[in-house]
């Protein structure tokens, strides 16, 4: 087998492989909306193979959350808090059932949350942002505290009513012990606690699970991290025989009594009424509370109908532009134009296959990037063909002119593509969501064009010359 044939076979193999990669996407685009929804519900394996659309095309919500570090306890590192918040948000979203969500840390205290195709972004946002701040506070049993409790009973108001507007209950405000606040209890309505200031928050907890105490009664064992454990040891030493309230979302979950000093950060909460109760408390402790409140500092939500509209418009406008380029090449360069168009078509197929294979996200600017890249990929062929024209003009034969054309412009093409690639790389590095998608299609298209517009077109010429199909060249 000759060298040319061998290269042609490789090109065909690459084409076949690309089509095979794109096959699931093709099947997907033929599916009805109902079938697609069903596949998403069943988490069908086809989902991992189809072209991945960005939120701007598919519809969905992008959120950037900031962990409020000012509300962290002094001993807790911001990094640990953000890691934990990321974990907790992930588990909350899993409960919500979004197909292929993305939750990642960004920078020091930001978390990116992407929820593609979500139907009710409002509810999801409420669930994610629900702080349910978990706090540990000592129950205040002073004279003043019992006065406050008496006042509440007399007035018949609830602690939340008071906390909303403390200045309108002046007598309670003055009676309140310094740093204290009043809370409801989870178990018994009408039982209130006056609690001192926050000593530890949920960020210090590393684990909470159901276990059983000495006499097989259900209990919850909790574990603090190193810093939290030290603080906990200090608290338990100073407050023996007092009650430590676990406050979740402004409600006292449990207020176990401190019996002994706990030096190692591992404690057992006993006295739960049953195993179910202990389980609920453990879950609440584990995932119920973010280590600190999170704030939505960026939101981008695109409705599904707008996404569809963007797909149609982006696709149509790109197609129209590319079709004109195709036609122009044939009219302007004849046979050589057809060869350039073949390379262009191959570039498009391989670009899409690469996007599907690596599961890169296609965004609306990304679609524009594909169209622009194809227009720019023509450049290599224009450079070569103009050079061949020059070589022919000085009287060289077709075959020699083609060889000289390719040889002379190769480094020009390489340089030109590489500098555009430099721009694309920094765009990717510093860009966000949709822009990253643009940088990706631009870069991949450029790299593929080095193969299709230079290697493949040359191969076609060599093949045509060898088979004596092309004796004279008209460009």
Partner 1 sequence: MQFFKSMDIDFIGSRRKFFVVAVSLLLMTITAFIYRGGPNYGIDFAGGVLMQISFRDNNTALHDIRSAIEEAGVKSFELQSSENFILIRAKKTLKSQEEFKNLIKDSIQAKFPDNPMKVERIEYVGPAVGEYLSKQAIYAFLFAFLGMVAYVAFRFKSGLWGIAAVLGVIHDIIACFGFIILANKEVNIIVVAALLTLAGYSINDTIVLFDRIKENLKLCVKENFAAIINKSINEVLVRTVVTSLMVFIVASSLFFFGGEVLHTFAYIMVIGTVLGVFSSVFICAPFVYELEIRRSNRLKAAIKQSVTRSK
Residue with smaller CB distance to partner 1, 231 or 439 = 439
Task: Give the other-Cβ count within 10 Å of 193's Cβ.
Answer: 23
CB of 300 to partner 1, least distance (A): 5
Span 110-139, contacts to partner 1 by CB under 8 A:
125
CB of 191 to partner 1, least distance (A): 33
Q: Per-residue contact track with partner 1, 230 to 269, x per CB under 8 A?
A: ----------------------------------------
CB of 215 to partner 1, least distance (A): 49
Nearest Cα residue to 183 out of 246, 135, 250: 250
Q: Which segments of 192-303 does DSSP mark as H helices, in order? A: 226-238, 275-287
68 binding partner 1? (CB under 8 A):
no
CB of 147 to partner 1, least distance (A): 37
386 binding partner 1? (CB under 8 A):
yes
Q: How many angstroms separate the CA atoms of 311 and 217, rounded? A: 60
Task: Give the other-Cβ count within 10 Å of 86's Cβ.
Answer: 18
Lookup: tokens for 285: 């402790």
374 binding partner 1? (CB under 8 A):
yes
Cβ contact 135:204 at 8 Å: no
Q: How many angstroms separate the CA atoms of 256 and 191, rounded? A: 15
Q: How many angstroms separate the CA atoms of 15 and 20, rounded? A: 9
Residue with smaller CB distance to partner 1, 193 or 406 = 406
309 binding partner 1? (CB under 8 A):
yes
Cβ contact 364:374 at 8 Å: no
CB of 432 to partner 1, least distance (A): 6
CB of 301 to partner 1, least distance (A): 5
48 binding partner 1? (CB under 8 A):
no
Residue with smaller CB distance to partner 1, 10 or 425 = 425
415 binding partner 1? (CB under 8 A):
yes
Q: How many angstroms separate the CA atoms of 258 and 267, rounded? A: 10
Span 418-437, contacts to partner 1 by CB under 8 A:
418-427, 429-432, 434-435
DSSP per residue, 187-218: SSTT-EEEEEEEEEEGGGEEEEEEEE-TTS-E
Q: Is 201 helix (H, G, I), strand (E, B) or coil?
A: strand
- Span from 20-28, 38-46, 80-88, 292-300 in contact with partner 1 (CB under 8 A): 292-300
Q: Per-residue contact track with partner 1, 323 to 342, x per CB under 8 A?
A: -xx--x--xxxx--------
Lookup: tokens for 75: 């001993």
404 binding partner 1? (CB under 8 A):
no
H/E element, 52: strand 52-53
């Amino acid at each position: 087998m000759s060298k040319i044939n061998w290269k042609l076979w490789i090109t065909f193999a690459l084409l076949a492989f690309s089509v095979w990669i794109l096959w699931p996407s093709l099947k997907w685009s033929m599916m009805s909306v109902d079938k697609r929804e069903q596949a998403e519900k069943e988490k069908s394996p086809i989902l991992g193979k189809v072209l991945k659309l960005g939120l701007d095309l598919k519809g969905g919500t992008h959120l950037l959350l900031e962990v409020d570090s000012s509300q962290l306890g002094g001993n807790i590192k911001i990094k640990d808090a953000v890691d934990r918040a990321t974990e907790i948000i992930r588990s909350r979203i899993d409960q919500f059932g979004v197909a292929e969500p993305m939750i990642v840390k960004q920078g020091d205290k930001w978390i990116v949350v992407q929820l593609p195709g979500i139907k009710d972004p409002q509810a999801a946002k409420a669930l994610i942002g629900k702080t349910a701040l978990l706090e540990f506070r000592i129950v205040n049993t002073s004279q003043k505290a019992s006065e406050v409790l008496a006042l509440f009973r007399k007035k018949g108001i609830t602690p939340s009513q008071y906390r909303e507007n403390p200045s309108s209950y002046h007598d309670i405000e003055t009676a309140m012990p310094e740093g204290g606040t009043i809370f409801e209890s989870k178990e018994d309505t009408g039982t209130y606690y006056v609690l001192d200031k926050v000593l530890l928050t949920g960020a210090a907890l590393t684990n909470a699970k159901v276990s059983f105490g000495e006499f097989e009664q259900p209990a919850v064992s909790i574990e603090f991290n190193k810093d939290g454990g030290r603080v906990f040891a200090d608290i338990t030493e100073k407050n023996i025989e007092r009650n430590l309230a676990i406050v979740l979302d402004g409600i006292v979950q449990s207020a176990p009594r401190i019996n002994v000093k706990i030096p190692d950060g591992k404690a057992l909460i006993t006295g739960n009424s049953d195993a179910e109760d202990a389980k609920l408390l453990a879950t609440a402790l584990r995932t119920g509370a973010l280590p600190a409140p999170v704030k939505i500092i960026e939101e981008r939500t695109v409705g599904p109908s707008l996404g569809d509209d963007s797909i149609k418009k982006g696709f149509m406008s790109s197609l129209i532009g590319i079709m004109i380029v195709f036609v122009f090449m044939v009219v302007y360069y004849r046979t050589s134009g057809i060869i350039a168009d073949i390379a262009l078509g191959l570039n498009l197929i391989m670009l899409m296959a690469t996007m599907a294979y690596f599961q890169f996200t296609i965004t609306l600017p990304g679609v524009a990037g594909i169209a622009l890249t194809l227009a720019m990929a023509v450049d290599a062929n224009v450079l070569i063909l103009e050079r061949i024209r020059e070589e022919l003009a000085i009287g060289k034969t077709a075959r020699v002119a083609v060889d000289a054309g390719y040889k002379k412009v190769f480094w020009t093409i390489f340089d030109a593509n590489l500098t555009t690639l430099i721009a694309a790389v920094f765009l990717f590095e510093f860009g966000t969501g949709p822009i990253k998608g643009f940088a990706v299609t631009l870069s991949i298209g450029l790299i593929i064009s080095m193969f299709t517009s230079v290697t493949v077109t040359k191969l076609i010429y060599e093949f045509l010359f060898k088979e004596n199909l092309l004796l004279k060249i008209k460009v």
